[in-house]
Amino acid sequence: MRMVLSWLPGGLAVASVGASAVLAAASGSSVATSSAFARIATPEMLRYRYDAGLATGVIAAAGTLGSLIPPSILMVLYGYLAEVSVAQLFAAGVMPGILTALAFTMMIVLRVLRRPALAPKVEEHFTRADLLAAIRDTWALPVIILGVLMGIFLGVFTPTEAGAVGAALAIAVAALKRSLDWQVLGKGFRQALVSTASIFLVVIGTSLLGRFMALSGVPTFVADTFIAWGSSPLMVILAVSLLYLILGCFLDSIGILLLTMPIILPMARETGLDLIWFGIILVKLLEIGLLTPPVGLNVYIIKGALGDRVSLTTIFRGVGWFVAVDLLVLVCLVLLPGIALWLPGMME
């Protein structure tokens, strides 16, 4: 990405957006994507005297593409809770993910054109041989991405089975590259167990809460109240957006999704919202919550990776521009549902 995009104004930041989008399509995790590039890309941008807010903000924001570009952990959870096709959700996330990446890129280029000091030009020259060598080094990632996603979209295996296929492909690639040993395999198993157990603990707790909410009648009451007020689908979207933006300041994405679904799903069904499109809107809102203070998880990931090199205030200042762009993209998705529903429609 650096070889292809570094000629643009703010080229290293733009390359970071592109690389994050590709890695997001393999990892499905915003935290993993941000953590990786905080160690790879941010130090390089700081070395070339990029503005610290831009160098950190772009990584925190681009990392959120892991939630939107398939495969996505949040989409799998939403699909399970809403009882909708995960394959269609994955397809629906492709165009919004690309749109977000392009919007980030446009904002970076325009800002740097206006204020060149934000990102001093990096004089780099790469030959075709250099580019081909880089492509040969990165062939494994597209293989894993295409192997997982095409299998899901073509109906060869389910999203759950796709997780096993992706793991098997990763092990096979590591073996081919001669980077696989028992220590690496053991570390991979431990990390998978810890992250999966953490998610299931949250799922168990929120499942109990959901049952209590159902018995209390709160979801039905809220849904009936909105309907009694004559709320349109747009009003429901506005109310949910406000709720998620507020909760995103204090809670993590998975917690918000699992805590609120018992309340907002009945509202969405009663007002006739398309649940695939609604899921993409929710994931987009959860992305924004990963950046907003005081508990912007991706911001703290960047801070943890860089230590004292950049202050927390600087990182939050840097992500402000990207939050504004995310909100504009969200408006586009609400007003133009076809952006998200075009690809799922072709699968029917």
CB-based contact 90:72 (threshold 8 Å):
yes
* pLDDT at residue number 314: 92
Provide mean pLDDT across the span 280-297: 88
Mean pLDDT across the stretch 172-200? Answer: 83
Average pLDDT over residues 119-145: 83
If phi > 0 it is left, if psi is from -120 to 50 it is alpha, else beta; for residue 251 that is beta
Distance CA 99, CA 332 (A): 10
Q: Are 65 and 79 in contact (CB under 8 A)?
A: no
Rounded Cα gap, residues 45 and 11, in angstroms: 10
Q: What is the rounded average pLDDT for all residues in the chain?
A: 85
How many helical (H) and strand (E) elements, i.e. helices and strands, does the chain have? 19, 0
pLDDT of 33 reads 82
pLDDT of 102 reads 95
Best-predicted range by mean pLDDT among 12-26, 133-147, 276-290? 276-290
Higher pLDDT, residue 259 or 64: 64
pLDDT(337) > 90: yes
Q: Which pLDDT value is given to residue 228? A: 61
Average pLDDT over residues 279-283: 94
pLDDT at 194: 82
What's the pLDDT at 263?
Answer: 80
Q: Does 226 score more than 70 pLDDT? A: no
Query: Confidence class of residue 213 from pLDDT cuts 50, 70 and 90?
Result: low
Q: Which of 70, 88, 65 is nearest to 18 (CA)?
A: 65
Residue 124 has pLDDT above 90, yes or no: no
| Per-residue confidence (pLDDT) for residue 319, from 0 to 100 | 93
pLDDT bin (cut points 50, 70, 90) of residue 143 is confident
pLDDT exceeds cutoff 70 at 231: no
pLDDT of residue 227: 58
- Please name the helix (run of DSSP H) or strand (run of DSSP E) that holds residue 5, with its range, or none: helix 2-5
- Is the predicted pLDDT of residue 58 greater than 90, yes or no? yes
Could you tell me how far CA 86 lies from the centroid of its own chain? 16
Least confident of 94-98, 103-107, 202-206: 202-206
Task: Say if residues 66 and 246 touch (Cβ distance below 8 Å).
Answer: no
pLDDT recorded at residue 210: 63
Q: CA separation (Å) from 35 to 23, 94, 168, 297? A: 11, 22, 23, 11
Q: How confident is the model at residue 218 (pLDDT cuts 50, 70, 90)?
A: low
Reported as a pLDDT band with limits 50, 70 and 90, residue 215 is: confident
Averaged pLDDT, 133-149:
82
Return the pLDDT at 50: 93
As a whole number, mean pLDDT of residues 9-19 equals 92
When mean pLDDT is compared over 13-27, 105-119, 292-306, the highest value belongs to: 105-119
Tokens matching residue 100: 């977000």
The reported pTM is 0.83
Region of 9 please: left (phi>0), alpha (psi -120 to 50) or beta.
Answer: beta
Q: Indicate the domain borders of the chain.
A: 2-347
Position 265 pLDDT exceeds 80: yes
Query: Which residues, 6+ apart, have CB-to-CB distance to 74 below 8 Å?
Result: 67, 253, 254, 257, 283, 286
Lowest mean pLDDT among 121-135, 214-228, 288-302: 214-228
- Reply yes or no on whether the pLDDT at 13 is more than 90: yes
